[in-house]
Amino acid sequence: MNRATRDPFGETLARLGKTDERIVVLDADLSESTRSAKFAEACPERFFEMGIQEANMISTAAGLASTGKIAFCCSFSCFITSRFDQIKVSVAYNNARVTIVGTHAGCGVGPDGYTQMALEDVAMLRTLPNLAVLQPADDLETTQIVEYLIGQHDGPAFLRLTRQKVPRVHHENYRFAYGRADRLREGSDLAIIGTGATVHAALAAASRLGDEGISASVTNIHTISPLDQDAIGQLAAETGKLMTVEDHSVIGGLGGAVCEALAATHPAMCHRVGLREFGESGSPEELFAKHHLDAEGVYREAKSFLERLG
């Protein structure tokens, strides 16, 4: 099952919106692309087309939330998370029940190039103490995260979604648990930690390493903030060698979060795979290959990391 995570997002929002009148959705001239149009079709009276006005949209959503609504603001992640001050003050500092939905995350955007790619969004939003940073790895997880945000989560959140299709990595009976690392494969030589669109590549690489007698575990981090510190500590204790893989800058995202956790309690070597430069135009596949985010790249990064450590 290959699906872009924005698809189950829109479908779940539309399904729940029909019965939960607290839900309101705002978009900034990208409703087809973000899939919020599905909600607009189902609940037109609770959908707000704000035009190309991301800042206005975000603060408006915070106001809506203060009247008991559960608000979702949608755009490409680059355009919405760059309105950081509105997210910081209107949303986070009011502890508003607003989810910032950023689709088209990372270099997976492809030919549009750097200005349409969010490569810094996790780094920025992770600094807000009460704002949950969530990134699903596949369609199943996306649906459950949206259900969780509406059913249980009482505060601000950032939901990071892909434009491109990603293969399913979970079984049908998978259960999402907020704030808990999701261990997908056991291993004792190396711990690979992925999030979002890179998780399936991490699994494929681990399986290839396994064929060569290298035992690599794979953990999916869907909740980047607050990070499951205990799970990171345990991975460090098990292997002493961790490798993060994300479609994001190597600075401040999953890799940064894992290194912070390690430095605080479980010093261990950690190698960060991700972008080290601006993004650029190219096909998603070419860009994933260039930045070693595909199965081949993750495999090679793991090998060279282990060789370096001897």
Partner 1 sequence: MGSDKATDRERLVAQLEAKAPRYRVDILEMLCEAESGHPGGSLSAIDLVSAIYHYKLRHRPDDPLWADRDRFIMSKGHGVPAQYAVMSDLGYFERDKLWTLRKLGSPLQGHPCTHWLAGIDASTGSLGQGLSVAQGVGIGLRLSRSKAHVYCLMGDGETQEGQVWEAAMSMAKYRVDNVTVILDYNKAQIDGLTRDVMDIEPLADKWRAFGWHVQTIDGHDYRQILAALDQAAAVQGQPSYIIAHTIKGKGVSFMEQNPVSWHGVSPNREDTDRAIAEIRKRAGIDAKEAVR
Ligand X SMILES: Cc1ncc(C[n+]2csc(CCOP(=O)(O)OP(=O)(O)O)c2C)c(N)n1
> Judged by CB under 8 A, which stretch of 6-14, 26-34, 198-206, 219-227 contacts partner 1?
26-34
Q: Are β-strands 157-160 and 182-185 bridged in parallel, bridged antiparallel, or unpaired?
A: unpaired
**CA-to-CA distance for 128 and 39, rounded, in angstroms?**
28
CB 105 within 8 A of CB 165: no
The length of the chain, given as a count of residues: 310
The tokens describing 136, both together, are 């699903």
Residue 1 makes contact with ligand X by CB under 6 A: no
Of the residues 95, 116, 207, 234, which one makes contact with partner 1 according to CB under 8 A: 116
Q: Is 54 a catalytic residue?
A: yes
Residue 52 makes contact with ligand X by CB under 6 A: yes
In one-letter notation, the amino acid at residue 7 is: D
Number of residues binding to partner 1, judged by CB under 8 A: 30
Residue 47 makes contact with ligand X by CB under 6 A: no
Its sign, for the CA torsion 27, 99, 127, 202, is negative
- Residue 192: CB minimum distance to partner 1, A: 26
Q: Which residue lies nearer to partner 1 by CB, 100 or 145? A: 100
Q: Pick what 114 binds: partner 1, ligand X, none; C-beta below 5 to 8 Å, kind-dependent.
A: partner 1
Q: Which residue lies nearer to ligand X by CB, 79 or 305? A: 79
Interface residues for ligand X in 77-106 (CB under 6 A)? 79
Please pick, among 54, 120, 141, 246, the residue that the annotation labels catalytic: 54
How does 254-271 read in b/e, with b if 16+ C-beta sit within 10 Å? bbbbbbebbeeebebebb
**CA-to-CA distance for 201 and 222, rounded, in angstroms?**
15
Query: Interface residues with partner 1 (CB under 8 A)?
Result: 27, 29-33, 49-53, 55-56, 78-79, 82, 110-116, 280-283, 286-287, 290
Report, as residue numbers or ranges, the catalytic residues: 54
